[in-house]
């Protein structure tokens, strides 16, 4: 938290950014140790430390890339550990720590309140406790509904006990945008024509990726329209500019992605080519949604055309929306840079969205996030291609999937050597916490250098 002098005061000796990094790292290591226990591995299987570390990282970072089959390598205990890690990663370490505070009925300290505020990137400290409770209740409610809906498909197939377990695991994984499942080795390819599984999964992915702020704004506005008996159009016009923007961008990305995938893959016999028109549309829609951070697949990713793979890199990099379970640099971040470009080309001082200006500070932050994230992804791609000796497109697909916490792979993950696995682990960790946060981690204790203003330099750009 910040004192009267404007300097950040530590929480238990650490700043909020350091708590985030150390908290995630501690949980990853704890998860790896639990997964190395003999009880976590299925009979006949062995788990090395690197495999356990990779699995723990992909779970807590809600990525979904796996080096061993989740459904067959891990015991019931191991799957339970993975599920808890996914839920923890979806909530975030800060939120989970806060849950313990609430459960023990301890006082919600000002320092913890500030930490949660920083983690969720909120402007005000007022109402944080209520916000946190709503996040927890909303998450569990949506996951519960998803599990119930899944159960109608999975219980008849797997039986009551296993079917319920599969339903719960899939619901949590889909909502948290983790992309891991315990159905089989081929993700949801066996269910590509199952309307219920497809629509439940897509709905959970989108809801989780929209962000909690958007949820609560939609609920608040809908309740206002109902109580005051306002016109239905107010369901949209009464929303905040952030919610309108997120909903608009999300709809555009889903539909545009589905259209392009349909065009690129409709004649590909290994993906959409053998399906009827309805199946092609459904699979294209699912692929468009899963590209942006989910990790589930209804068509084999290694069979996608190069055009679709490059499209996937773009959509994975963008990811979901702020203050949610999705990864990527976030939809609003990319939009701000795009809007600033258009404003500059139109010779306007600032970009305007829904009658609201975008501040220069937001433009600077968005530019830093995109630049750092893209730089990290490209560097890790080159390193993975070099040390694992794999095609550049496959390496890029793997790394962009890792840094955007998506979880899609062109079959590369299980074949990685030790160096490749470590590179992907670093990518997943950076992707969940962000390269910008890493920069802040090392810069927090540095003195401010904003006291001196330098004369403008003369540089040439463009």
Kindly report, residue by residue over 286-329, the tens digit of the pLDDT. Answer: 999 999 888 899 999 999 999 999 999 999 999 988 877 778 89
Judged against a pLDDT cut of 70, whether residue 77 lies above it is answered with yes
pLDDT in tens, 80-122: 999 999 998 888 766 776 766 666 666 666 666 766 666 665 6
Q: Quick one: pLDDT band at residue 5, thresholds 50, 70, 90?
A: very low
Q: Quick one: pLDDT band at residue 251, thresholds 50, 70, 90?
A: very high
Which residues have a Cβ under 8 Å from the Cβ of 244 and sit 6 or more positions away?
236, 354
Q: Quick one: pLDDT band at residue 235, thresholds 50, 70, 90?
A: confident
Least confident of 72-86, 175-189, 370-384, 417-431: 175-189
Least confident of 319-333, 383-397, 435-449: 435-449
In a domain, 431, yes or no: yes
Domain count across the chain:
1
pLDDT in tens, 155-196: 999 999 999 999 999 999 999 988 899 998 888 999 999 999
Plot region of 99 (φ>0 → left; ψ -120 to 50 → alpha; else → beta): alpha
What mean pLDDT comes out for the span 129-140?
83
pLDDT: is 158 or 458 the higher one?
158
Domain boundaries, position 348: 334-439
Judged against a pLDDT cut of 90, whether residue 336 lies above it is answered with yes
In a domain, 329, yes or no: no
Contact 178, 86 (CB under 8 A): yes
What's 14's DSSP letter?
B
In percent, the amount of the chain with pLDDT more than 70 equals 85
Least confident of 74-88, 306-320, 374-388, 438-452: 438-452
In a domain, 185, yes or no: no
Contact 359, 336 (CB under 8 A): no
Contact 437, 462 (CB under 8 A): no
Distances in Å between the Cα of 255 and the Cα atoms of 17, 281, 307, 330 are 36, 11, 17, 17
How many Cβ atoms are within 10 Å of 100's Cβ, its own excluded?
Answer: 9
Judged against a pLDDT cut of 50, whether residue 8 lies above it is answered with no
In a domain, 433, yes or no: yes
Report how far residue 273's alpha carbon sits from residue 13's, in angstroms, rounded to the nearest whole number: 59
Judged against a pLDDT cut of 90, whether residue 416 lies above it is answered with yes
In a domain, 96, yes or no: no
In a domain, 203, yes or no: no
Q: What is residue 17's predicted lDDT score, i.e. its pLDDT?
A: 61
Q: For the chain, first and last CA: distance in Å? A: 41
Q: Quick one: pLDDT band at residue 126, thresholds 50, 70, 90?
A: low
What mean pLDDT comes out for the span 403-422?
93
Report how far residue 57's alpha carbon sits from residue 405's, in angstroms, rounded to the nearest whole number: 11
Judged against a pLDDT cut of 60, whether residue 10 lies above it is answered with no
Q: Quick one: pLDDT band at residue 2, thresholds 50, 70, 90?
A: very low
Judged against a pLDDT cut of 80, whether residue 452 lies above it is answered with no
pLDDT: is 124 or 379 the higher one?
379
In a domain, 360, yes or no: yes
In a domain, 399, yes or no: yes
* DSSP-based three-state secondary structure for 352: strand
What mean pLDDT comes out for the span 334-351?
92
Q: What is residue 213's predicted lDDT score, i.e. its pLDDT?
A: 83
In percent, the amount of the chain with pLDDT more than 90 equals 56
What mean pLDDT comes out for the span 380-402?
95
Q: Quick one: pLDDT band at residue 6, thresholds 50, 70, 90?
A: very low
Which residues have a Cβ under 8 Å from the Cβ of 294 and sit 6 or more positions away?
64, 174, 177, 179, 201, 205, 209, 406, 407
Q: Quick one: pLDDT band at residue 3, thresholds 50, 70, 90?
A: very low
List Cβ<8 Å contacts ≥24 apart for 387-396: 387/417, 387/419, 387/420, 387/423, 388/412, 388/416, 388/417, 388/419, 388/420, 388/423, 390/415, 390/420, 393/306, 393/309, 393/310, 396/313
What's 9's DSSP letter?
P
How many Cβ atoms are within 10 Å of 16's Cβ, its own excluded?
Answer: 22
């Amino acid at each position: 938290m910040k004192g009267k002098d404007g300097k950040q005061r530590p929480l238990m000796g650490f700043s909020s950014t350091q708590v985030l990094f150390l908290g995630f790292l501690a949980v990853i290591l704890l998860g790896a140790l639990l997964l190395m226990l003999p009880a976590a591995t299925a009979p006949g299987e062995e788990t090395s430390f690197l495999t356990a570390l990779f699995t723990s990282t992909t779970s807590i970072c809600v990525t979904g890339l796996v080096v061993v089959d989740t459904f067959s390598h891990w015991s019931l205990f191991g799957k339970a550990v993975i599920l808890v890690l996914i839920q923890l990663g979806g909530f975030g370490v800060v939120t989970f720590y806060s849950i313990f505070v609430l459960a023990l009925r301890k006082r919600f300290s000002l320092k913890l309140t500030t930490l949660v505020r920083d983690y969720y990137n909120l402007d005000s400290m007022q109402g944080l406790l209520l916000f946190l409770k709503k996040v927890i209740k909303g998450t569990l409610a949506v996951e519960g509904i998803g599990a119930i809906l899944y159960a109608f498909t999975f219980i008849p197939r797997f039986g009551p006990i296993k079917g319920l377990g599969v339903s719960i695991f899939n619901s949590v994984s889909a909502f948290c945008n983790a992309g891991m499942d315990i159905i089989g080795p081929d993700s949801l390819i066996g269910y590509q024509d199952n309307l219920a599984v497809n629509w439940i999964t897509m709905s959970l992915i989108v809801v989780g990726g929209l962000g909690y702020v958007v949820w609560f704004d939609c609920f608040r506005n809908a309740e206002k329209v109902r109580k005051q008996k306002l016109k239905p159009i107010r369901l949209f016009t009464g929303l905040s500019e952030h919610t309108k923007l997120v909903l608009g961008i999300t709809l555009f990305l889903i539909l545009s992605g589905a259209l392009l995938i349909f065009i690129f893959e409709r004649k590909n016999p290994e993906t959409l080519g053998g399906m009827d028109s309805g199946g092609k549309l459904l699979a294209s829609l699912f692929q468009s949604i899963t590209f942006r951070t989910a990790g589930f697949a209804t068509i084999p990713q290694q069979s996608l055309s190069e055009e679709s793979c490059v499209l996937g890199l773009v959509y994975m990099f963008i990811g979901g929306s702020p203050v949610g379970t999705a990864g990527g640099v976030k939809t609003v971040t990319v939009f701000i840079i795009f809007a600033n470009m258009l404003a500059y080309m139109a010779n306007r001082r600032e970009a305007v969205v829904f009658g609201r200006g975008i501040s220069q500070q937001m433009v600077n932050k968005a530019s830093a996030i995109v630049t750092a994230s893209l730089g990290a992804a490209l560097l890790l791609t080159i390193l993975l291609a070099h040390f694992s000796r794999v095609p550049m497109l496959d390496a890029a697909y793997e790394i962009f999937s890792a840094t955007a916490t998506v979880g899609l792979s062109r079959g590369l993950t299980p074949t990685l050597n030790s160096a490749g696995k470590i590179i992907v682990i670093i990518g997943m960790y950076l992707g969940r916490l962000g390269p910008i946060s890493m920069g802040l981690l090392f810069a927090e204790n540095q003195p401010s250098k904003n006291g001196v203003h330098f004369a403008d330099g003369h540089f040439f750009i463009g």
